Amino acid sequence: MNAQQIQVLLAGDEPVYANVARELPRAPSHFKLTRVGRLDEALRTLGAGPFDIVLLDLSLPDRTGLAAYHELHAAAPAMPIVVLTASGDETLAFQAVREGAQDYLVKGEFDGKMLSRAIRYALERKRAEEELGQSAEFFRLISENVTDLIAVIDRDGKRLYNNPSYEKSLGNASNLQGTNSFQEIHPDDQEKIKGIFQGTIATGTGQRSEYRMLWSDGTVRHIESQGSVIKDASGQPSKVVVVSRDITERKQHLEDLEKALSELHQAHEELKAAQMQLIQSERLEAVSTFAGGIAHEVKNPLQTITLGVDFLKNSFGNAGEDVRMVLTEMDNAARRADAVIRGMVEFSSYNKRDVKDHDLSRIAEQSLCSVESDIKHNGIKLIKDLAPNLPPVRLDLKTVKHVFINLLLSAIQAMAGGGTLTVRTCLKQLSQDQGWSGRTPGLLKAGDTVIMAEVEDDGPGVIESKLADKSERSFATEMIRKGILDLMVLKKVVELYGGMIRIINRKEGGVKVSIMFKAQRKEGL
């Protein structure tokens, strides 16, 4: 359209309204009128030059009624048309407007001012129609080419529109119109989604939701939807536009990622445990080497002392009671020291370990069998409380059995005049109120489930000053009682397999030794 003039084509031969139309050129800066008397002339004129609007008489000599409008509209479908009709043909004019004409005027009932206004309104309506058509085409192209599911739903949950993306999931989209939009939702999720939809209608605010949907092929898919409200002229929600997408693969990827992260975390923890065990093994090897060196250095002088004591006992056979008592104590002390040295030699020489799953109760039973004669000889009462079916512990049988035997011999020697020896095994969970302030040495911590073995005696106990002088880290690691193998060595052996030893004086008298190993996790947990 020319920025200065509106190009008007008048197709009509009656002078009554033609004279009125001639009033338009009085303002040449706004309108330019071209008049023809027949439809075929109008068609040729439209083809020859640009026009902005056509005033069409429905009573032309060569065409009448709607036939004239249809032919002109077919030749120039984008051209805005205002029809002119006689007062008795308004029904015909209404029909032309319904079929695309912008407006109609009744002959003899308009003047130049009304005609000018009708032309301008017709041009504006045509422009608005074109913009609306472009918007509709734009929406159609988007809705038909996106993979998202787009639906328009009325207040009752009935489908008014579904874009072609629904054909992959629910079949032909055109067949969905008027159907219940909730019927394909998984039965377990229907009530939740209905509640969200009703809340959207009530509040006028769209919501995001996730749910499961049953596809036409029977598969269950996870869907994410966002609703947006369309309001009517009164401002009340009348429709809901729902944009949905299939997030099944995304959820599966997230689950796979979480699983992979969990497995990675578990592998990291296992690697840390293996690394710690390797460090403990290296430390144990160092202790073993150190113990072997000390044992060999002390063994020869100790044999000399033993021989010397035997010589003195034979030489002073007629000595007094005090001398014989001193020599006997010296002999006992030398023999106890010899037992310690032999244990250190045995420990330092044993390097080949066979680590397997073992039952701690079975190890305790075997160790008790090894010291059975010592228990009977000293008149000691034995109480056994060995739990059956304990989770296995990965360790070297011979090494850990050696630890048990030494602890049992220590208890037996503490009760040389008789007493009660209690040996029990159990499965329990470590808590923060067991003397280590929420943490434990080695690989154990509060909250771990442990397999525990306990050895209790009612002997004289451990000297309290020795307990008080030890830091938490080295607590009960150097307590030597009755010459049994150094508890530092026993502690290192147990820590090698991820466990710990704890020794305390009992309130009722005697000593309680606890050995703990972390319970292995069952497969699949």
CA distances from 163 to 158, 217, 242, 245 (A): 15, 19, 11, 12
Mean pLDDT of 346-367: 79
In order, the DSSP letters of 405-471 are HHHHHHHHHHTTT-EEEEEEEEEEE--TTSSSTTB-STT-BTT-EEEEEEEEE-SS---HHHHHTS-
pLDDT, residue 374, reads 85
pLDDT, residue 432, reads 64
Q: Please write the tens of the pLDDT for every residue from 420-461.
A: 999 999 999 887 645 444 444 456 777 888 999 999 998 776
The domain over range 6-143 is classified in CATH as 3.30.479.10: no
CA distances from 197 to 6, 136, 151, 213 (A): 51, 26, 13, 16
For residue 159, pLDDT over 50 is answered with yes
Ordered by start, the domain boundaries in the chain are 6-143, 147-246, 249-351, 353-525
pLDDT, residue 478, reads 34
Domain 249-351 -> CATH class: mainly alpha
Calculate the CA dihedral of residues 54, 56, 61, 65 and round it to 10 degrees: 140
Backbone angles phi, psi at 481, to 5 degrees: -125, 125
Mean pLDDT of 393-419: 86
Burial (CB count <10 Å: 0-12, 13-18, 19+), residue 516: buried
Compare 20 and 195 and report the one with higher pLDDT: 195
Mean pLDDT of 133-148: 66
pLDDT, residue 383, reads 94
For residue 70, pLDDT over 70 is answered with yes
pLDDT, residue 515, reads 92
Domain 353-525 -> CATH class: alpha beta
Band of pLDDT at residue 189, cut at 50, 70 and 90: very high
Ranking 26-35, 59-68, 77-86, 282-291 by mean pLDDT, the lowest is 282-291
**pLDDT above 90 coverage of the chain, percent:** 14
Do 353-525 and 147-246 fall under one CATH topology?
no
Calculate the CA dihedral of residues 162, 168, 169, 175 and round it to 10 degrees: 40
From 424, 497, 491, select the one nearest 456 (Cα to Cα): 424
pLDDT, residue 24, reads 61
Band of pLDDT at residue 298, cut at 50, 70 and 90: confident
User: Residue 25: which H helix or E strand, with range?
Assistant: none
Mean pLDDT over all residues of the chain? 79
**pLDDT above 70 coverage of the chain, percent:** 78
Ranking 8-17, 119-128, 279-288 by mean pLDDT, the lowest is 279-288
Backbone angles phi, psi at 103, to 5 degrees: -170, 175
Q: How far apart are CA 498 and CA 494, in angstroms?
A: 7
pLDDT, residue 482, reads 38
Q: How far apart are CA 515 and CA 424, in angstroms?
A: 11
pLDDT, residue 347, reads 62
Compare 510 and 471 and report the one with higher pLDDT: 510
For residue 30, pLDDT over 80 is answered with no
For residue 493, pLDDT over 90 is answered with no
Q: How far apart are CA 444 and CA 200, in angstroms?
A: 54
Q: Please write the tens of the pLDDT for every residue from 372-405.
A: 888 888 899 999 999 999 999 988 888 888 889 8
pLDDT, residue 277, reads 66
Q: How far apart are CA 207 and CA 191, in angstroms?
A: 15
Ranking 45-49, 61-65, 73-77, 130-134 by mean pLDDT, the lowest is 130-134
pLDDT, residue 365, reads 93
* 517, 395 Cβ separation under 8 angstroms: yes
Mean pLDDT of 505-519: 87
CATH topology of domain 147-246: Beta-Lactamase (3.30.450)
pLDDT, residue 146, reads 64
Mean pLDDT of 128-143: 70
Ranking 273-287, 406-420, 480-494, 501-515 by mean pLDDT, the lowest is 480-494
Sign of CA dihedral 174, 175, 181, 187: negative
Q: Please write the tens of the pLDDT for every residue from 88-109.
A: 777 888 888 888 888 888 877 7
Q: How far apart are CA 53 and CA 46, in angstroms?
A: 10
pLDDT, residue 361, reads 94
Is the overall model pTM greater than 0.75, yes or no? no
Compare 478 and 279 and report the one with higher pLDDT: 279
Q: Please write the tens of the pLDDT for every residue from 235-288.
A: 888 899 898 888 888 888 888 888 988 888 888 888 877 776 666 565 566 566
